[in-house]
Amino acid sequence: MRRPGHLLLILAISIGLVTGSAGAAVAAAPTKAEVLASWTQTSAASYASWNSARQNQQDWAQYSFDWSTDYCTTSPDNPLGFNFELACYRHDFGYRNYRAAGQFDANKDRVDSAFYQDLQRSCDTYGSVVRPACDALAWTYYQAVRIFGFLVVTDADIERAKRIKEASERQAANR
């Protein structure tokens, strides 16, 4: 059985080790800002910590995070079968919570970069034949949020990636 304070203690120790104040970090729970920052970094470890918390939201209830999501907004969550849902979910989490904290502008670029890294990690799970199409879509999704602040991916963008995917599949079939 998981105890709610257990995850807080692990996070507090982790933050303390990074900042060099392990003793003080164990004595006090991390602030909401510290937890939010730790879950919106570009690393796979940051993503894994956020995803674990997402699956155990009750353990983090005292922070009153906004866990709502519309995934990839009006753009497809799974374009051409590539699963971008969790990358979009974490991106929503970062945007919504930094806006609520009044810290959006200072953190937008990092949240967008974390989104792109999450998309790339998602693409890395696909075979080398279709990965170029996934990478092209990941770049398009990233550019949309970086420039517009939300996902605006057009049918033409999806069609361009579809052509890349089909060409790669044909080339692989002819080998």
Structure token pair of residue 116 = 């792109």
| Cα distance between residue 5 and residue 42, in whole Å | 26
Question: Which residue type occupies 7?
Answer: L
Query: Of 169, 99, 103, which is closest to residue 131 (Cα–Cα)?
Result: 169
Supply φ then ψ for residue 77, to 5 degrees: -75, -30
Is 6 in the active site? Answer: no
Q: Which among 90, 91, 131, 165 is annotated as catalytic?
A: 91
Active site residues: 91
